[in-house]
A and B are shown apart, each in its own frame.
Chain A
Amino acid sequence: MRARFLATGLLTAAACASTHPLMVGSWPVEDDRVAARGAEQRARQLEQSLSEASAGTAPPACSRVCELVGQICELSHDICALSGRHPGDPELADRCASGEQRCRRSLDRVPPGCSCPPP
């Protein structure tokens, strides 16, 4: 997956976004799931801010949207390629159908203001 740049952005944002940003010391034990949700939300917000801060000519949200749509459709392609190798496998056929549905659905969700490259 071409998630490397996204991962880098999230990683960078998450680092700054931590409730207790890498403080040395002891903190009360907290529910990791709650912490993760909070950190992810903050990471998204900060990633967006970072994108805006370094914005070029394209609207920053479109690049994110297009990257995710590209990933979704690429994975759909991968799943269906596997299904194609096993024509009699109903599980793979179902996953292929579901994957294609997700790809179509994501393409439909692309806002009119975004021009994503074809998958």
Chain B
Amino acid sequence: MRGSMLLVAVALAACGDAPARFIDAARDAHAQADALVRAGDPARAARVLEGFTARAVPAGIAAQDRRVVLQDTHARLAELALKTGNPGRARDAATAGLALGEGRDAFTASLLTLRGHAEEALGRDVEAARDYEAAQKIAEALLEQALADGGAR
């Protein structure tokens, strides 16, 4: 994940016509968070990422692009919260990411899995199992698709 925003920025730049401010802000937020985590300040890293998610998204960005960039950030927030022993915050971050829209994709599966870990840490085992199972179903659908798209070549 550490380099994901950079990759996205590069990819979007290659695509042309990127909404530079939004992508630059995302890349900067992730880079700042990386540095803060390395410096031993995950709480501040989380605040930087929260600040990005709270920003208004510029007009003209496709709904799917908006969703995946923000969901990736929410997933990272959830991950950070779990690592710093804040499962309640992790659950909230994952839920906020899922509220942006659920699909049969890796973003939704990742958020469900992270929320499952948070629920488990909170002692809510039934809820955790539900999230894990939902994530598993998506992974199975993605596997089917991967096999249908070409399988082993």
Which residues of A are in contact with B by a Cβ distance under 8 Å?
1, 3-4, 6-8, 10-16, 18-27, 32, 35-36, 39-40, 43-45, 48, 59-62, 64-65, 68-69, 71-72, 75-76, 78-79, 82-83, 85-86, 89, 91-92, 95-96, 98-99, 102, 105-106, 109, 111-114
Query: How many B residues face the partner with a CB closer than 8 A?
Result: 63
Main secondary structure of the interface of B (DSSP, over half): helix
Report how far A85 CA is from B123 CA in the complex, Å. 11
Q: Would you mind naming 23 contact pairs between A and B with Cβ atoms under 8 Å apart?
A: A1-B114, A4-B110, A8-B8, A10-B106, A19-B62, A21-B12, A21-B16, A24-B58, A24-B60, A36-B63, A36-B64, A44-B145, A61-B152, A64-B146, A65-B146, A72-B139, A76-B136, A79-B132, A82-B128, A82-B132, A99-B133, A111-B147, A111-B151
Set B109, B113, B136, B152: member contacting A99, Cβ < 8 A: B136
A21 to B11, CA, bound (A): 11
Stretch from B34-42, B45-53, B83-91, B97-105 contacting the other chain: B97-105
User: Distance in Å from the Cβ of A6 to the closest Cβ of chain B?
Assistant: 4
Which residues on the B side are within 8 Å of A109 (C-beta)?
A: 143-144, 147
Q: Which residues of B contact A15 (CB under 8 A)?
A: 8, 11-12, 15, 65, 68
Contact of A14 among B1, B14, B59, B65 (CB under 8 A): B65
Question: In the bound complex, do residue A79 and residue B129 qualify as a contact, i.e. CB atoms below 8 Å apart?
Answer: yes
Min CB gap B23→A, angstroms? 8
Bound complex: CA A52 to CA B107 (Å): 22
A10 and B143: CB pair below 8 A? no
Q: Which residue of A lies closest to B120 (CB)?
A: A82
Query: What 0/1 pattern do residues 111 to 145 of B give for CB contact below 8 A with A?
Result: 00110100010000110111011011101101111
* Whole-angstrom CA separation of A12 from B9 in the bound complex: 8
